[in-house]
Structure 1
């Protein structure tokens, strides 16, 4: 990808003409499209409860996210040149980015919902297991002793 290229000193290449400007914008658009496709698939799988299928492309998503962030840095570093050499493609990229942001937001909402549901299930299971393992008897403080105070729990062992 053009946005990933660097010169010999490690500094990002600067856009110096219309061809470079369009190339950078096209690379960022392609990265966004690939990342949005992965996010859409992930969102749909998680939405219907297929968590492992939804999260199957985590490594590719991570790679694309890194490339996207590097592309944004290159975009910011070359903002003046891009506005000068490729104003129409830059406006298209801005519009595309707004749609991409909505896809990210939808993905985050679905993931947060799945996380909350999972946490509630785990808490419910934990509560049921701890309740099943707790000894059965009278609860302290609820029953009054015949001698005027609160009684201690009464447990009866059936083992000898």
Structure 2
């Protein structure tokens, strides 16, 4: 906890309009880049191109980290930013709200893809766990039905990597 407090204390404070504008613009640029990556990911998942979507993960994580640091800096300097750049603060808030809507859409698309994948896996598991017995054997057998049992083919192997 003490170490974290030192990090916060070491961050520069905004003391004029130029610094306020620079901070807000830096956060806005990061938010724009992050929004672009999340939008791409959403589109790719919708199109079923999961592998391509997963390739965006590292960049998305990097931008999210930079954005969160920027948000912390904005919070630390909230009073100064409101004083020196009130219109830019409004723009930042609007951009953040739009980003939240994009994240909500992204989470919905990801949840849908996850549910579909789970459903496919569940159906495959049910199909592979059915006994490979011909109807001529077992308690419900009809003797002399002329049906020959095939040898057990063994379990089905499913690749989980997409």
TM range (shorter): 0.7 to 0.9
Q: Is the 8 A contact 2:20 2:80 kept in 1?
A: yes
Q: CA deviation at 1:134?
A: 6.9
SS of residue in 2 equivalent to 1:21: helix
Q: Which residue of 1 aligns with 2:144?
A: none
Q: Which residue of 1 aligns with 2:45?
A: 46
| Higher Cα Rg, which structure | 1
Structure 1 moving runs of 4+ over 2 Å: 7-10, 132-139
Q: Which residue of 1 aligns with 2:138?
A: 137
1:93-125 per-position Cα deviation (integer Å, ceiling 9, x unaligned): 111111111111111100010011001100110
Structure 2 gap segments, 5+ residues each: 1-5, 141-148, 152-162
Distance 1:23 1:128 in 2: 59
Distance 2:66 2:24 in 1: 13
Structure 1 gap segments, 5+ residues each: 1-6, 140-156
Distance 1:126 1:132 in 2: 12
Q: How much is the aligned-residue C-alpha RMSD, in angstroms?
A: 2.4
Q: Which residue of 2 aligns with 1:13?
A: 12
Aligned residue runs from structure 1 range 52-131, under 5 A: 52-131=51-130
TM (normalized to structure 1)?
Answer: 0.78
Q: Which residue of 1 aligns with 2:30?
A: 31
Q: CA deviation at 1:45?
A: 0.7
SS of residue in 2 equivalent to 1:137: coil
Distance 1:60 1:158 in 2: 51
Q: Go from structure 1 to structure 2 and tell me whether the alpha carbon gap of 1:121 and 1:16 turns closer, same or farther (over 3 Å shift).
A: same
TM (normalized to structure 2)?
Answer: 0.77
Q: CA deviation at 1:55?
A: 1.5
